[in-house]
Amino acid sequence: MSDPFDVPERELPDHVRQSVLHRISTEIAHERPRRRLGATPLLIAASVVALMAGATIVTSTLTANKDHTTLNATPSTAHPTTSTSGATGAYLWNGVPYWGMDAQMQRCVDATQKPVDGWFPLLRVSRNGLTAMLYRLGTDIVFCQVTKEHVTTKAMPYPQPPSGKAPGELLFTTPDGTYAGVVAPNLYNLQLRMDTLHGDNAAVNDSVFILPNSFRPGDKIDLGSSGSDYVTVTDMPQPTEPTVTVGGPKADRTSLGGQRLAACLPTANPPVVDADYWAPAAVIQTDATHWLQLGTLDGRLIACNRSGSTFTVDQPNLDVVEKHSVLMTGKISADGNAELNVLAVGLATDPRAAKVTLARAGKQDASAPVDHGTVILHGEGTLLPGRGQNRFTVVDSAGNVIEQFTQ
Amino acid sequence: METLTDLESVPDGRLWEAVAADDHGAFTALFERHAQSVWNYAYRLTGSWSAAEDVLSTTFLTAWRRRADVVLIRESALPWLYTVAANLVRNDHRRRNRFLRLVPKLVSTDESRDHAEELAEQDHTQQRLKKVLAAVDELPTAERQAVQLCLVGRMSTADAAELLGITEVSVRSRLSRARTRLRGMTEESFDE
């Protein structure tokens, strides 16, 4: 009989991830700002028996605080910032409050053709190749969304804070499923619900919110925050179409791979950002209506899965797996295509990569060629659940190993 | 002050230093890096995906609240997160519920468990896991800790020894005794 703890590892579903982040952010938002009293940190070392609030702690202690390194996703130099005191929901969707001038902001400024002076960044979020931002500009609130191929901007007079039952006011939407607006003062969490099955948390900062690249805009949307009922938005803004199109070459849609992507990508919800620009890459199939087709755009990977008449689109989040110099791997769901036996998909970041082999104890090695910078590994079983039990080897066309790592 | 642009490539230790300095981005990066592992570990500790979600929330909230008190000296934050999760499970739902405000799970319009979980609960594997977990709960503390880290958390005996502050031989010895007891209590076999 197998080990009872040998339970297959599940991929963390996005709704669980969002729910947990929401709960944590709500808790943090309710906390008082931390007082810095120079408390001596505890050393997590050999003598730690248990670590949690209220549990027994046996530790050694350090004699001095360490110098802290501040890690910023982007430089923040242009504007003085208001203290967030740890009490915001700004960090959802890679959120950054009050950032400084950068290339994306410059694209927004250029698209609006307004002078750069006076733009005050409020909140920036990003997801799936899309960055959405809100600014205060004089008496206006300015929405801007940038992708590789498009810039979408819209400005309107800064509204009064929402009053009454509604926790927020929806001001902007885009066809890419981005939503933005204002929330009541001191509100640090907001959920948008398209229907009872589809919803997401928005990032919130300084009484504005953004939810990037979520579900496709429909006829109705509800806004809610923790501890309150949902309120239906009565005045749905029309989706704002792109203001500027870069005009780069669209991807091939004449080849079989291109046709597969053309059939599959428009069905995705949340919508695929810059859908016409994804280039076809590796594919495996059992027949004409059962296949897994990968696509790439700008260092990102997409997986289109067709099972009969059903398409599912998956964007493996390569940012949350370990990055390697040659290959990043992610897991995807190949719903309805169990016979494809997909183990992992990968994106090769080194043009020399020609073949990838996956070795697992007790299983046959799975190998696949790198096709247009991508790879689909398939074979018996699944990836082994324990860390370090799946060994990936990347070789060049001469068979020389150029990278090896375990996951 | 050092500014790094790619949080995903920053080692846990440095991320943790930034978290201790109230860096929300670093905290999110740490969450993204380890949430799935902690969630799966919590499932193996509880036999319930719903409870695992609670444990995941509370583990990271504990991490945030203790950010100023803790310095990570290991390469990975995961062993420490596992230890926190295991203690949360040990201290049962009541503590978790007190610890977490009554923040609703995301857009949960139906308070009943989802269909997938209902189905999963009928699964023999899950029933078997729950039976073994009940037995693990009866083990002496020292053996239970070793089981939670090494058998449930798949941690090496060397790592567990370092975390528990004992020798690797002691960890192996505790595991051996625990396996014997668990076999007696559950008639299950446990991989050596």
A337, exposed or middle or buried, with CB in 10 Å at 0-12, 13-18, 19+? buried
Residue bearing the bigger pLDDT, A311 or A218: A311
Q: Do B68 and A19 touch (CB under 8 A)?
A: no
Adjacent-strand bridge partners of A361: none
> Is A61 inside a domain boundary?
no
Q: Is residue A180 part of a domain?
A: yes
Indicate if A99 and A140 belong to the same structural domain: yes
Query: Which residues are CB-neighbours of A114 under 8 A, at least 6 positions away?
Result: A137
Element (H, E) at A369: strand A366-369
**pLDDT > 90 fraction of chain A, expressed in percent and rounded:** 37
pLDDT of residue B138: 81
Q: Give pLDDT tens digits for A279-337.
A: 999 999 988 999 999 999 988 899 999 988 888 888 876 654 556 667 776 666 666 67
Given the candidates 3.30.200.20, 3.40.950.10, 3.30.9.10, 1.10.1740.10, the CATH classification of the domain at B9-100 is: 1.10.1740.10
Q: Are residues A354 and A282 in the same domain?
A: yes
Query: Nearest C-alpha of chain A: how many angstroms from B23?
Result: 7
Residue A326 included in any domain: yes
The CA distances from residue B3 to A75, A106, A172, in Å, are 8, 21, 33
State the smallest CA–CA distance between residue B122 and chain A in angstroms. 15
pLDDT band at A264 (very low <50, low <70, confident <90, very high): very high
CA dist., res. A272 & res. A40, Å (int): 48
CB contact under 8 A, B23 and A70: yes
Give pLDDT, residue A200.
77
How many folded domains does chain A comprise?
Answer: 2
Smallest CA–CA distance from A64 into chain B, residue: B71
**Residue B26: closest CA among chain A residues belongs to which residue?**
A71
Nearest to B188 among A4, A17, A201 (CB): A4
Mark whether A141 and A273 lie in a shared domain. no
For residue A56, being part of any structural domain is answered with no
Q: Tell whether A244 is covered by a domain.
A: no
User: Which class is B121-187 in CATH?
Assistant: mainly alpha
Q: Do B17 and A39 touch (CB under 8 A)?
A: no
Residue A243 belongs to some domain of the structure = no
Is A5's CB within 8 Å of B151's CB? Answer: yes
The nearest alpha carbon in chain B to A46 belongs to B165
The number of residues making up chain B comes to 192
B27 contacts A26? CB cut-off 8 A: no
Chain A, nearest residue to B25 by Cα: A91
Say whether both A156 and A93 belong to one domain. yes
pLDDT tens digits for chain B (192 residues)?
Answer: 344 445 667 788 888 888 887 777 788 888 989 999 999 988 888 888 888 888 898 899 888 888 877 766 567 888 888 888 887 776 554 344 444 433 444 433 333 444 555 555 556 677 778 788 888 888 888 888 888 888 888 778 877 887 777 788 888 888 888 888 888 888 776 666
Rounded mean pLDDT, A335-349: 81
Chain A residues with CB-CB distance to B49 below 8 A:
10
Contact assignment for A54 to B72 by CB distance below 8 Å = no
Residue among A19, A42, A54 whose CB faces B105 most closely = A19
DSSP-derived secondary structure for B90-124 = HTHHHHHHHHS--PPPTT----SPPHHHHHHHTSH
**pLDDT attached to residue A226:** 65
Helices (H) and strands (E) counted in chain B, each on its own, are: 10, 1
- The tens digit of pLDDT for each residue in A130-155 reads 999 999 999 999 999 999 999 999 99
- Best residue of B4, B40, B107 to probe chain A, by most A CBs closer than 10 Å: B107
Least confident of A45-54, A85-94, B96-105: A45-54
The reply to whether A213 and A265 lie within a common domain is no
Q: How far is B5 from chain A (nearest CA, A)?
A: 5
Give the pLDDT of residue A148.
93
Residue A70 has pLDDT above 60, yes or no: no
Q: What percent of chain A has pLDDT over 70?
A: 77
Q: Residue A382 is part of which domain span?
A: 249-406
What residues in A contact B39, CB-CB < 8 Å?
10, 12, 16
Domain match, A221 and A257 both: no
- Is residue A324 in a domain? yes
- A127/A176 same-domain check: yes
Is the pLDDT assigned to residue A72 strictly greater than 60?
no
What pLDDT, on the 0 to 100 scale, is given for residue B190? 66
Q: Chain B residues with CB inside 8 Å of A349's CB?
A: none
The Cα of A31 is separated from the nearest Cα of chain B by a number of Å equal to: 9
| Same structural domain, A369 and A343 | yes
Same domain, A390 and A254: yes
The pLDDT of residue B145 is 84
Residues B171, B156: Cα–Cα separation, whole Å: 10
Set of chain B residues whose Cβ sits within 8 Å of the Cβ of A45: 73, 162, 165
The label of the residue with tokens 């319930």 reads: B48
Q: Indicate the range of A23-27, A230-234, A302-306 predicted with least confidence.
A: A23-27
- Assess if residue A6 is contained within a domain: no
> Which of A232, A260, A285 represents a domain boundary (last residue)?
A232
Tell me how close the Cα of B1 comes to any Cα of chain A, in angstroms: 6
Would you place residue A101 in the very low, low, confident or very high pLDDT band (cuts 50, 70, 90)?
confident
pLDDT at A29: 65
User: Residue A196 above 80 pLDDT?
Assistant: no
Residues A78 and A224 in one domain: yes
Tokens standing for residue A131: 């960055």
Report chain A's mean pLDDT, rounded to a whole number.
Answer: 78
Q: Domain spans of chain B?
A: 9-100, 121-187
Contact B32 A9 (CB under 8 A): no
Helix axes B168-186, B157-164, angle to 10 degrees: 110
Of the candidates B29, B63, B72, B32, which has an alpha carbon nearest to the alpha carbon of residue A72?
A: B29
A279 with A353, same domain?
yes
Under an 8 A CB cutoff, do B191 and A3 touch? yes
**DSSP result, A169-185:** EEEEE-TTS-EEEEE-T
- Residue A370's identity, in one-letter code, is V
> Do A142 and A153 meet the contact criterion of CB atoms below 8 Å apart?
yes
Same domain, A23 and A129: yes
